[in-house]
Structures are given as structure tokens and as C-alpha cells.
Amino acid sequence: MKECYLSGLFVDVPFEVLSSVGEARITAIISDSRRVVPGCLFVALRGSSYDGHRYITEAVQKGAAAVVGMDADVFPGVPYIQVRDTRIVLPHIAAAYYGHPGRRLTMIGVTGTDGKTTTTNLIFQILQAAGLKTGMISTVNAVIGEQVLDTGFHVTTPEPIDVQRYLAMMVEDRLTHAVLETTSHGWAQHRVDGCEFDVAVVTNITHEHLDEHGSLENYRRAKARLFHSLAETRKKSWGNPRTAILNREDSSYGFLKDICDSLPGVRILEYGMSSDAWASARQVKYDRKGASFTLVYGGEEMLVSAGLVGAYNISNILAAYTATVGALGVSPEAARKGIAALEGIPGRMEAIDMGQDFLVYVDFAHTPNALRRTLETAREMTEGKVIVTFGAAGLRDRQKRRMMAECAVGLADQAVFTAEDPRSESLEAILEEMAHGAELKGGVEGKSFWRVPDRGDAIRKVVSLAQPGDIVLACGKGHEQSMCFGTVEYAWDDRVAIRAALAEYLGIPGPEMPYLPTQDSFNRANSD
């Protein structure tokens, strides 16, 4: 068990402390009152639907040795440190508790709407191929030496205490580099503050999470915090690359370039298909197993092969190559080996083959841009039909529902709209919005699109529609292994569901279709 003095957590911090700190021995930092352990520092967070300050007394009763909060005149009977915003404070004191591990690693951060996970994994593979001891924290998992740790149910950056704990484990394992996938939620909620980033990479910034951020401008600003952080990173004994990796072809380019140009000591490297970019691609050839192309970088050329399906992955490869070769000085040959070593990412155009005479893929595409790119890729891979099923999450950006339905009707031959984490919203209402979007684009219900509330039945439907040579896609869930109805997470994996549906279709042994509450007779009747 790690221990430290309370006062040591507040030395040279980038925030104002409104009270005396006091002294206590701290054995953990906890922000969830349900997880309080004796000797911990309890940090009371406040959100739109909860207030940790209500649980201060309970936390102290459970053994909390000290409390950090925002309210004045709080006397819990243990040292109480008042600050203006506990969410801003938490990542910094967590970093201090774990010995500021980001200061002892070369830190690479990746942000963007789509392609973050793939780009993060590509960077990780390249650094590994270069012989650099590297850890990774993605929205799929954390890889630390021989350990692979699950990072949660749904895609987002881990909480700040977990981020710093993972980084500390990397330092303890004598790793030298860490690549971290960062989400807009992660930046908006200050989960990755104090990570001391050296290289910042953006894939793209498109329509997503406007329910959380309110506008595309706010969304871009949240992403931009990764680049602002480059100028805040403390000097490291082995050097500070302080490099921004920008997508020359993305709409975010001008916005981010202006920011980076204003940051002292930050250099910019660009990638894209444009000949003006530092890294670009020519003579791209695709097949069902991946792609090959000539990578042009800094005036040099190199033939690259990758086991990643889709034109959009060329952009991800260019981003990773620029970050590693351009910013960190990795050899081009090591980069080529690392790129070739990554055969695929769980839930990213992941092929499912049970002997059927058509192609089936599971993909995480859950934004209009990602769905468009996935369907375009599918169209390139077959002369047959493109058939897709997906949904739209409840309590999230409502504009996506119409936009994604329009995209599906425009690019797929047949689409089935279904459940995707409806949460406390009416699933029927969500599907109605999607159907309306499809009809606006010229879709005809019962011919080009269907509404099937139960996701298992929706997957059965797209399988039944397929003919030899077609492509079937299940989009939106990817690697995720649960689905939320109300407040309950039900075990769900699209890959298992696809295998179950294919087994039924082929008349061969296979897994059972996972259960969702939409499997009851009432909802099935509504889907007929």
C-alpha cells in the first residue's frame, strides 16, 4: 500500500488552495464514497446529477483521513482542504500521489472523433518494434508490460486516479514511453490533466458529443486542450519533443494550427494525402486483407503494407508514422514493421467467418463520419449488396440519429435500425427519428430500411437478407461488451450475437444469442 503525507499532494500545484492543508497520512485517493477505505483522501466531486459533498460525513465514518471539497465552513472532523473546483484538482493530486509518473515517461496523446483507438495501437506497435519499452492506455484496454487491463464498459478515457495509477505501473515496470488515447469527455472533465504530454496527435474532429459540449466549437476546444498541454509539460532530462501532429485534410486543421502556432516551443508536423504534408500516401492498393501503398515522408519514400481494412486507416497510419518517425526519431524500418504487425483492432472492421458465403464485419462506427467511411470501405470491397444494422444511443446527441440514418440509406443497399444503449429514452422514439431521417433521404421502410428494436433480431435480419458475395455490417458497439437499458448494463457483444445468428442461419453449432430485455414477446410483436 502506497502512503504519503497530505501536504505533499499540494506542493507546487496549478490551482488555488482556499484553506490550510493540515497533515495526515494518506493511503489512497478516492472520489467515489462507495469505495472509501480507511486512510484515504476523499475528493468530493460535483456534477449535474450528483454531489459528493453530501457523502463527506459517510466517507469520514468509513475512515477517510482527509477531505477535499468546494464548500466553505465544512467541519468533518478530519483535515478539510477547500478548493474552487475539485474536478480540476483531482488529476493533479492523483499525479502527485503516484509520484508524477508522466514526468518520467515520454508521453504521446491521441485525440479525435474517429480513428483514435487504431492510431493509438499503431503508435504502440511502432514503438515496440523500435525496441522501446512502451505502455498504452486506450478506450479498449491498458497494456502495461505483460498485463492487459480492462478500462471499462463504454468508450471514454479512464478516471484520473486510474490514469495516474496505470502510468505509475508503467514507471514501476521500467517502461520509457506511454501512448494514451484521450477523449473529449476526458479533457472536458480534466481526467488527463497532469499527464505531461510530449507529442499530441489528432485524427479528425467531426460531428459527435454535441449533447455533452453544446456546440462543435466547444467540442473542438475540448480536443484542443491536448495541444495546449504541450506548452505546459515540464522539462524532462532526456528532452521534450513538444510536437503537434495535425491532419492536413481535416476541417480542424486551421483551428488547431492557429493554436499550435501560438504555443512557445511547439513544432507542427502534418500528414495527409496532400503533397504539402510531411507524410502522405501514393499508389494505394486495397484488398479484403488490408492495403499497401507508397509512404512519402520528409522527401523520402517507402513501401508499406498493413493488415487494416479501409481507406480511412491510411490516414491513421500516416498519423502514427508522423508521430513516431517525425516527432520521436524512430527509424522508418521499425515503423514499417510495427505497422505490418498490427493485423486488426477488436471491434474495428473485425471479420466474422463461420463458413458463410458472404462477408460479415463488426465495427465500432458510431458517428456519422465513421459510419460513412465504413460503408464506403464496404462498397469498395464487394460488387454485391452492402447491408448494415446499427442504432443510436439514448440521452446522447439526437442529431446523429437522423444523420446516420441518412448516411445508411445513401450508401448501403439495406439498413436495419435497432437498439444501441437506449438508456432511459424510449427506444421506439429513437427508431422513429431514425426512420424519419431515412425517409427524408428517399428510403422506403420495408424495402431499403427496417426498424427491429431487438438487436439480436436485427442481426438475424441482416444475415437473412444477405446473398453470396454481399457484405453484412453490425456497427456501433464494436468491442463493447454491454448495452444499457434504463440504468442496467446487460451483457452484450455484437461478435457473439453475429456468431449466434450465423450458426442459426447455417444450421451449425454456435453460441446462444445474448439476452436483451427487448426479446420479450411484446417488443417482438412490435418489430414484425
Select the highest-mean-pLDDT range: 161-170, 287-296, 514-523.
Answer: 161-170
Residue 273 has a pLDDT of 85
pLDDT digits (tens, 9 = 90+) for 249-296: 998 899 999 999 999 999 999 999 877 899 999 999 887 788 899 999
- What's the mean per-residue pLDDT of the chain? 92
Q: How far is CA 19 from CA 51, 71, 73, 93, 262, in A?
A: 20, 11, 10, 16, 35
**What is the distance between the alpha carbons of residues 255 and 259, in angstroms, rounded to a whole number?**
7
Q: Following DSSP, what letter does each residue of 73-118 receive, concatenated?
A: S---SS-EEEBS-HHHHHHHHHHHHTT-GGGGSEEEEEE-SSSHHH
Identity at 415, one-letter amino acid code: A
Mean pLDDT of 17-45: 96
Q: How far is CA 475 from CA 38, 83, 177, 424, 431, in A?
A: 44, 43, 33, 21, 15
Q: How far is CA 28 from CA 41, 60, 171, in A?
A: 6, 14, 18
Cell of 156: 471514454
Strand pairing of 66-69 and 414-417? unpaired
* Neighbouring residues of 447: CB distance < 8 A, sequence distance ≥ 6: none
Residues across the chain: 528
Ordered structural domains, the chain, with CATH: 4-96 (3.40.1390.10), 100-341 (3.40.1190.10), 350-527 (3.90.190.20)
Q: Following DSSP, what letter does each residue of 279-326 receive, concatenated?
A: EEEEEEEEETTEEEEEEEETTEEEEEEE---STHHHHHHHHHHIIIII
Q: Could you tell me if 475 and 389 are in contact, meaning their C-beta atoms sit under 8 angstroms apart?
A: yes
Q: Exposed (0-12), middle (13-18) or buried (19+): which is 274, by Cβ within 10 Å?
A: exposed
Exposure on the CB side of residue 113, measured as CA atoms within 13 A: 24
Residue 109 has a pLDDT of 97
Mean pLDDT of 397-419: 95
**What is the distance between the alpha carbons of residues 246 and 406, in angstroms, rounded to a whole number?**
29
* pLDDT > 50? residue 527: no
Which contacts qualify for 222-226: CB closer than 8 Å, 24 or more apart? 222/184, 222/187, 222/188, 223/111, 223/112, 223/184, 223/187, 223/252, 224/255, 224/256, 224/259, 225/187, 226/109, 226/111, 226/182, 226/187, 226/192, 226/197, 226/200, 226/202
Q: Could you tell me if 44 and 70 are in contact, meaning their C-beta atoms sit under 8 angstroms apart?
A: yes
Residue 210 has a pLDDT of 47
* Neighbouring residues of 186: CB distance < 8 A, sequence distance ≥ 6: 156, 157, 192
* pLDDT > 50? residue 518: yes
Write the Ramachandran bin of 75: left for phi over 0, alpha for psi from -120 to 50, otherwise beta.
Answer: beta
Select the highest-mean-pLDDT range: 43-52, 272-281, 465-474.
Answer: 465-474
Identity at 212, one-letter amino acid code: E
| More reliable by pLDDT, 144 or 528 | 144
pLDDT digits (tens, 9 = 90+) for 305-328: 999 987 789 999 999 999 999 999
DSSP 8-state symbol, 327:
I
Cα Dmax for the chain? 72
pLDDT digits (tens, 9 = 90+) for 388-397: 999 999 998 8
Residue 324 has a pLDDT of 98
* Neighbouring residues of 392: CB distance < 8 A, sequence distance ≥ 6: 400, 401, 404, 420, 430, 433, 434
**What is the distance between the alpha carbons of residues 344 and 101, in angstroms, rounded to a whole number?**
30
Number of other CB atoms surrounding residue 239 within 10 Å = 9
Mean pLDDT of 43-58: 93
pLDDT digits (tens, 9 = 90+) for 166-183: 999 999 999 999 999 998
Residue 525 has a pLDDT of 47
* Sign of the four-CA dihedral 421, 423, 427, 433: negative
Residue 80 has a pLDDT of 98
Number of other CB atoms surrounding residue 207 within 10 Å = 16
Cell of 18: 482556499
